[in-house]
Amino acid sequence: MNAPTVSAPTRTEILSVEDLAVEFRTRSGIVRALERVSFRIRQGETLGIVGESGSGKSVTAFTVMGLLDRAGKVTTGQALFTTEAGKQVDLLTTPEKELRLLRGKELSMIFQNPRTALNPIRRVGKQIEDVLRCHSGLKGQALQERAIASLAQVRIPDPATRYAAYPYELSGGMCQRVMIALALACSPKLLIADEPTTGLDVTTQATVMNLIKDLAVQQNMAAVLITHDLALASEYCDRIIVMHAGHVVESASTHTLFTAPRHPYTARLIASTPEPHKTFADLLPIPGNLPDLRSATLPPCRFSGRCDRHTPECDQPPLPNTTVAPGHQVACWHPLE
């Protein structure tokens, strides 16, 4: 686990998401996927977003990137991004044309499954050139050289040969490195990696994560790591936000979160995570399921139905979001001591 980290005050805040709410219109009702989601990330920082499947991690990422499904709608909130030029723009209201210029150049995303994210009938080097051509203005030989250098940067062996490979000729780990090369080709200020190691074996998983972390440090880039794997988050993130059913329930430095969790859900999540010294019997499952986000009567605390600390007070809005220590917030009426 990481030692406690202190964000250098001089580091620029790259992204500030405030009070974000997102709904999806579906045939069976309105899904209230996100509510009051707020978090911040600074230059050079790696922020983890953790939570069970369906907690809203990917919807948060897609909303910030302006890639929300057509059925989705932002109902409140802002996502202030500090551009290269030092200007603050709200990514939620920036016109698509301008957003497209930012995406790939200043904002980048790595998706869960590299094989489906890459174009299967275009050579990987050409796919990197497509991004560079759009954003860097390079042409011809210089463009090709930069694409090969991008493959070398993600430690792909023999990059000049691999430049001409199709995705099907590469292993899953290699494809994910190509995705990282694509995402980092223009040295973005913010990288969002959504479950970047899903489906990779443990060794490749470590290689890919070390690569993202090294490149983030080298380029002083802000990185958001979305994962349901707490062990991975504890190893690679400086700060973590915990999501449950579309709410941020706790945010803290990685060290604090794992040593002194205050939200009952965070504590349950940690207790249900395998660790080398734990046996199978030590793992405590989290009771119940996520509430149905289509329900018109969702409680203020969406964990209340699963929580053994629940009292009638928990059903009274608004749910407090308390700063229990500097940089440590918890959304709960009865936080753990």
Ligand X SMILES: Nc1ncnc2c1ncn2[C@@H]1O[C@H](COP(=O)(O)OP(=O)(O)OP(=O)(O)O)[C@@H](O)[C@H]1O
List contacts with ligand X (CB under 6 A): 24, 26, 31, 33, 51, 53-59, 69, 71, 228, 293
CB nearer to ligand X: give 106 or 195.
195
Q: In the bound complex, what is the minimum distance in angstroms from residue 57's beta carbon to ligand X?
A: 4
Q: In the bound complex, what is the minimum distance in angstroms from residue 293's beta carbon to ligand X?
A: 5
d(CA 200, CA 113): 10
Q: How are strands ordered across the β-sheet holding 239-244?
A: 107-110, 190-194, 222-227, 46-50, 239-244, 247-253, 328-330, 322-325
Q: In the bound complex, what is the minimum distance in angstroms from residue 54's beta carbon to ligand X?
A: 4
Strands 322-325 and 328-330: antiparallel
d(CA 23, CA 45): 29
CB nearer to ligand X: give 34 or 143.
34
CB nearer to ligand X: give 71 or 101.
71
Q: In the bound complex, what is the minimum distance in angstroms from residue 51's beta carbon to ligand X?
A: 6
φ, ψ at 251 (rounded to 5°)? -140, 135
CB nearer to ligand X: give 13 or 229.
229
Retrieve residue 174's tokens: 């290699």
CB nearer to ligand X: give 33 or 128.
33
Q: In the bound complex, what is the minimum distance in angstroms from residue 32's beta carbon to ligand X?
A: 9
Return all residues near 328 (Cβ < 8 A) that are at least 6 apart. 250, 251, 252, 253, 256, 262
One-letter amino acid identity for 184? L
